[in-house]
Amino acid sequence: MGKWLNKTLKPTDSAESKNHADLEDLARLVEGTLDSAKRKRLIHHLNRCGQCYEILQETLKDVSTETSGKPAPTAWWKRKSVYALAASIIMIFIIGGQLVFKYRSQPSPVISAKLTIDQELKDILLEDNALQWKNVERIERLISALHKKGLPVIQFNLVVLSKPYYQTKSLFGPEEILHIRIENNVAYLEVKEIQ
């Protein structure tokens, strides 16, 4: 376990840098002995900091070689917890944001995503009630809004809405989710309410 402590963090200017994971905490996270508040904070940071995530991966590697190298009969649970942790971190990477997207590259690239509609998206949607948008400036604004929400670099030159979008009357109306599918340079949008 001592060898984890020998690893040093590279200096960085990023705003997250002062929150860098403590190596001992990382080790405890892997062992499953970190308390839940610290665990949450650490995983939150790991989702944002490539540097610490790399160190965690190294730590996971260390643990799996350590455990697989040992013939000890108790080794299996350690290994199991390592994979469970790795899986939970990957899950958090995927569900941590409000955005879930799939990328399929065969036969033609299709991106589908769901995201919560915020004021920026609302403004773009409410601009007029046409079901097809060809206005380059409006499409550019939608693309940039999607980029900001974490969608990978995408391009489309036509937007097709499944039905006209109207402002919900109540301030406390149901939450709205934008379903988006991008295929052959066309973005298909559908707004669904969460009950």
By beta-carbon proximity to Zn ion, the closer residue of 55 and 180 is: 55
Q: Which stretch binds Zn ion (CB under 5 A): 43-51, 76-84, 103-111, 141-149?
A: 43-51
Q: Which is nearer to Zn ion, 21 or 151 (CB)?
A: 21
Terminal-to-terminal C-alpha distance of the chain: 49
Q: Provide, rounded to whole angstroms, the least separation between the CB of residue 5 and Zn ion.
A: 16
Q: Which of residues 4, 20, 25, 141 is near Zn ion by CB under 5 A?
A: 20
Tell me whether residue 28 or residue 192 sits nearer to Zn ion (CB atom).
28
Among 14-22, 85-93, 123-131, 179-187, the segment contacting Zn ion (CB under 5 A): 14-22
- Do the beta carbons of residue 116 and residue 78 sit within 8 Å? no
Tell me the window of 23-31, 48-56, 129-137, 168-176 that interacts with Zn ion (CB under 5 A). 48-56
> 149-177: buried (b, 16+ CB within 10 Å) or exposed (e) per residue?
bebeebebeebebeeebeeeeeeeeeebb
Q: Which is nearer to Zn ion, 51 or 67 (CB)?
A: 51
Please give the backbone phi and psi of residue 121, each rounded to the nearest 5 degrees, phi first. Answer: -65, -40
- Tell me, residue by residue from 49 to 78, as one string, x for binding to Zn ion by CB under 5 A and - for no binding: x-xx--------------------------
| Cβ pair 154, 146 in contact under 8 A | yes
Closest CA to 47 of 13, 84, 94: 94
Residue 48 vs 70, nearer CB to Zn ion? 48
Q: What are the strands, taking DSSP E only, across 41-174?
A: 100-104, 110-116, 132-133, 158-161
Q: How far apart are CA 151 and CA 144, in angstroms?
A: 9
* By CB under 5 A, residue 41 contacts Zn ion: no
Cα–Cα distance for residue pair 126/129, rounded to 1 Å: 7
Number of residues that bind Zn ion (CB under 5 A): 4
Which one of the spans 15-23, 68-76, 78-86, 92-100 is the region binding Zn ion (CB under 5 A)?
15-23
Residues that bind Zn ion (CB under 5 A): 20, 49, 51-52
